[in-house]
Structures are given as structure tokens and as C-alpha cells.
Amino acid sequence: MAISDADCKLLWGRAAGICSNPACRDDLTVILEGAASYNIGEMAHVIARKPDGPRGQKGGGPDSYANLILLCPTCHTHVDKAPSEYPEDLLRTWKKDHEAEVRNIGKQKKFESLAELKKFVNRLLVENGAIWKTLGPKSDAAGDSGSNLYRIWNFRKLDTIIPHNREIINAVEANINLISQDEYEHFVSFKNHALAFEKHQYNRLDTYPLFPGSFEERFRP
């Protein structure tokens, strides 16, 4: 049984396209100018599919998100060549801790002023916006599902836009005392969009709230 597209996206998105080994943390996408970009991430099985494989058990492990960990090729080779050095519990801890780190990024950021918070948020929004304009549904890349740019868009949604959205939410909530009621209301609209957008990538929704331009306006430095 092959790994489903939904499980691939969930694994990649929750790991933000970064190797889950805490001693590695390599970026797993390679973006090349004028050439085919590619990803080097490998979806490693915690419990091997075959009983006699690395960390194998009777009946083998499933091709599911719960039994997979995102690694770079080198780390994948190490964990499978020396399974006694990389037991199941260790790999599950790597995955759990890394995904928590990705989801909690920004929670520890404290700013002295609203201006500093807005500058931080704006920089993330600018990068997200640039990706959207170049690769998103209304870009030239959207018309060709087989193009290199279209494939990059699928990666950038998972390893950049979603983590940035999460970082914005966490940073604003960690500094909620700095914003006004009006700014808070527009932030809530952004948060509703961001969480629905993330869910849409893993399990397609019929519709979801679009990005609120008013949030970007309110948080422009």
C-alpha cells in the first residue's frame, strides 16, 4: 500500500520541510534558478513495512502518517542501517518534538512596542505574498499542473506559508497586550483564514475564509 497524498502533505507540512533529526535540521527543498527544483526529503518508516526490516515487528508497519518521520537522505540511511542506535521511541520523540517546535514558533517572542510587532508580522506576510503572487492560484504557474513552478507551489504552501502563518498567530497572541480592539478583530479574521487554509491542504474543504487584506493593512509598519 502506497503512502497517501494526504499523509505526505501532513508529514511534510507538520515538519515544515525540515529534517526531524534534532542534530541535523537540514532544509529538504532545493530551489534552483533556471533549472528543475527538487526536494530531498524522505518519508522514513518508524516501523519497517516488512517484519524483518529496521525496527520491524510482526505484520510490519503501515504506510501512514503515524508511522512516518520526515528525514534527509543521510539521516534516513543512518536510522535504518543502525536501528539499534535509533529505536522506535527515539524516532517518535524526534518527530513529536520537532513538530511541536514548528507549531510553537513565535510563542516566545516578546516585543517592546507595537511597531516592532508589526515589523515582524509584515516581513512574514511579505514573503508569503511574494510566494502567492509568483506561484499561487492566480499566477502563471497555476495553469500548468505539470510545471516545475506548480510543484514548488505545493512545497512552499507546506514548508513556508503554513509555518509563517502559525508564527504570526503565535507572535501576536504572545504580544496581545500591544494591539487595539480593532487590530485584534482583524487578527481573528487572519487566524480563521490561516487555520482553515492549513486544514484545506491536508483535507480539502469545499470553501474556507480567504486572506483578509485588512489584516495586512492594519499590521503594516
Residue 181 to residues 53, 143, 165: CA-CA distances in angstroms? 57, 41, 21
- Nine cell digits for residue 38: 527538487
Torsion-angle region of residue 59: left (phi > 0), alpha (psi -120 to 50) or beta?
Answer: left
Q: How does DSSP assign 84-116, residue by residue?
A: TTS-HHHHHHHHHHHHHHHHHTTTT---SSHHH
What is the pTM assigned to this prediction? Answer: 0.87
Q: Where are the beta strands (DSSP E) in the chain?
A: 29-30, 38-39, 42-45, 68-71
Tell me the backbone φ, ψ of residue 142, rounded to 5 degrees. -65, -25
Q: Are 188 and 172 in contact (CB under 8 A)?
A: no
Each residue's pLDDT, cut to its tens digit, for the chain (221 residues) gives 688 989 999 999 999 999 999 999 999 876 555 445 567 899 999 999 999 999 999 999 999 999 999 999 999 999 999 999 999 999 999 999 999 999 999 999 999 999 999 999 999 999 999 999 988 888 876 666 666 667 788 888 999 999 999 999 999 999 999 999 999 999 999 999 999 999 999 888 899 999 999 999 999 99
Residue 140 and residue 64: Cα distance in Å, rounded?
34
Could you tell me the residue ranges of all domains in the chain?
A: 5-104, 114-218
Q: What confidence score (pLDDT) does residue 145 get?
A: 61
One-letter identity of residue 134: T
Q: What confidence score (pLDDT) does residue 204 get?
A: 86
Q: How many CA atoms lie within 13 A of 64 on its CB side?
A: 5
Share in percent of the chain as helix, strand, coil (round to 5): 55, 5, 40
Whose cell is 493593512? That residue is 217
Residue 81 and residue 83: Cα distance in Å, rounded?
6
